[in-house]
Amino acid sequence: MSIYVVVGFGAAGAATARLLVRQGHAVRVVTRSGRAPEPGIEHVALDAADAAGLAGVAADADAIIHCAAPPYDRWASDLPPLTASACAAAETTGAVLVLLGNLYGYGPVDGPMTEALPLSATGPKGRVRAAAWEQARTLHEQGRIRAAEVRASDFFGPGVVDGGHLAARVLPPLLRGRPVSTLGDPDVPHSWTYLPDVAGALAEAAGTERAWGRAWHVPTEPALSVRQMVDRLAAEAGTGPIAVRGLPSAALAVGGLFSPLLRELKEVRYQFTRPFVIDASAWEAAFEVRATPFDQQAEATVDWWRERMADTGPRP
C-alpha cells in the first residue's frame, strides 16, 4: 500500500482519489474547504498554495497528484502559486509529483498532437499551462524532484459537470431530446478523453518510475466531431436525432460582455474551429491503461446523467 496526496477534488481529483482507494492505497485529499469523510479518503482543509502546509500533509506520501483547477478566468493568477507550492512540497518530502495537464500549451497546431511538440501557445491560459510543466520538468532535470505530467483533452463522463464541453451544456438537453449548441464548427474532429481513463493514467504514472521526467497523453478513443458525439450519445439515450447548432463568433463576443467564462473562451476557440486531435501512442507503447471502449463510455455517461437529473431535476 502506498500513500497518495491528491490536490483538488473536482471531477478528475475525485475520480483519481476513489480509484486509488479501490487499488488499496491510502489517500489524502487537499481542498480549500475540506469535505465530509468518505471510506478510504482523508479530507484535509488547506489552501494548496501554502507550500509548507502541503509539505506537512505529504510528509509521508509516496506521490502528490495535482488536479487542482481554479475557475477558468483565474488560471493566470491562481495556477502559478499552486504549481510552485506542489513543486516545493515534492522537493521537501521526496514525493513523486504528477501534474494533471491539458493540451492548451501547444497552441494551434496542424495535425495530431504528440508530446514531442513544442509548448508554443501564446495566449495566457496556454502559457500558464506550459509554464507549470516547464517548472516541474526543470526541477526534475536538476534532480531536485521526480515529476511527470499527464495531459488530457476535453473531459467527459460520469462526474464531469462543469468545464467539460460535453457536460451541463450538452447532456441535459440531449437527454430531453432538445437541440444543443457548441462552440465553432460542430463537424471538425475533436478528441474527447474519458474521465476514468484520466484517473487510471494519473495513478499509473504516479506509481511507475519509467513515467517520470516527461509528459504523457492520456489514452483516448479516436476523435469524433461534436455532431458525431451528440449522435452517438443520443443513440445510447434513445433520444435522437438531436439538432446541433454552432455558435457564431458574434454570439460568443456578445455573450462575453456579460460572462467571464465566455470571454475566456475566445482564446481557445481554435480548438473547435479546426481539428483538435490527441495522439497517445507513446503512452500506449509503455503502459497498461487503455482508453475505455466508446460504447462503455457512452453507456456510463448517459446512465450517470440520467440519475443526476432524476435526483436534482434538469439543469440548463
pLDDT (tens digit per residue) in 264-293: 677 888 999 999 999 999 999 999 999 999
3-156+192-217: CATH topology is Rossmann fold (3.40.50)
For residue 166, the model assigns a pLDDT of 87
Mean pLDDT to the nearest integer, 149-163: 93
Which of the four pLDDT bands, split at 50, 70 and 90, describes residue 261? Answer: low
Higher pLDDT: 34 or 138? It is: 138
pLDDT in tens, 56-104: 999 999 999 999 989 888 899 999 999 999 999 999 999 999 999 999 9
The C-alpha cell that represents 222 in the structure block: 479516436
113-127, 229-243, 246-260: segment of lowest average pLDDT: 246-260
The mean of the pLDDT values for the chain is 93
* 137 has pLDDT over 90: yes
What is the mean pLDDT of the segment spanning 239-260? 71
Task: Tell me the average pLDDT across 21-33.
Answer: 97
Q: Dihedral of the CA atoms 105, 282, 233, 200 (nearest 10)?
A: -90
Report pLDDT digits (tens) over 193-217: 999 999 999 999 999 999 999 999 9
> Would you place residue 313 in the very low, low, confident or very high pLDDT band (cuts 50, 70, 90)?
low
Confidence of residue 316 (pLDDT cuts 50, 70, 90): very low
Place 240 in a pLDDT band, splitting at 50, 70 and 90.
Answer: confident
**Is residue 109 predicted with pLDDT exceeding 90?**
yes
Band the pLDDT of 249: cuts 50, 70, 90.
low
Domain positions in the chain are 3-156+192-217, 171-189+223-276+293-312
State pLDDT tens for residues 157-196. 999 998 778 898 899 999 999 999 888 899 999 999 999 9
pLDDT at 273: 92
State the pTM of this model.
Answer: 0.94
Distances (CA, A) of 63 to 21, 76, 129, 131, 301: 14, 25, 21, 21, 29
Which of 297 and 34 is assigned the larger pLDDT? 297
On whether the CB atoms of residues 201 and 115 are closer than 8 A, the answer is no
Instruction: Give the cell for residue 76.
Output: 493566470
Least confident of 195-204, 216-225, 242-251: 242-251
Rounded to whole angstroms, what are the CA distances from 241 to 164, 187, 228, 231, 232? 22, 16, 11, 7, 10
Residues 131-160 have a mean pLDDT of 97
Pair 163, 13: CB distance under 8 Å: no
Strand partners, 169: none
Angle between helices 226-237 and 294-312 (to 10 degrees): 70
Whether the CB-CB separation of 183 and 265 falls below 8 Å is answered with yes
Look at residue 264 in the predicted model and tell me its pLDDT: 67
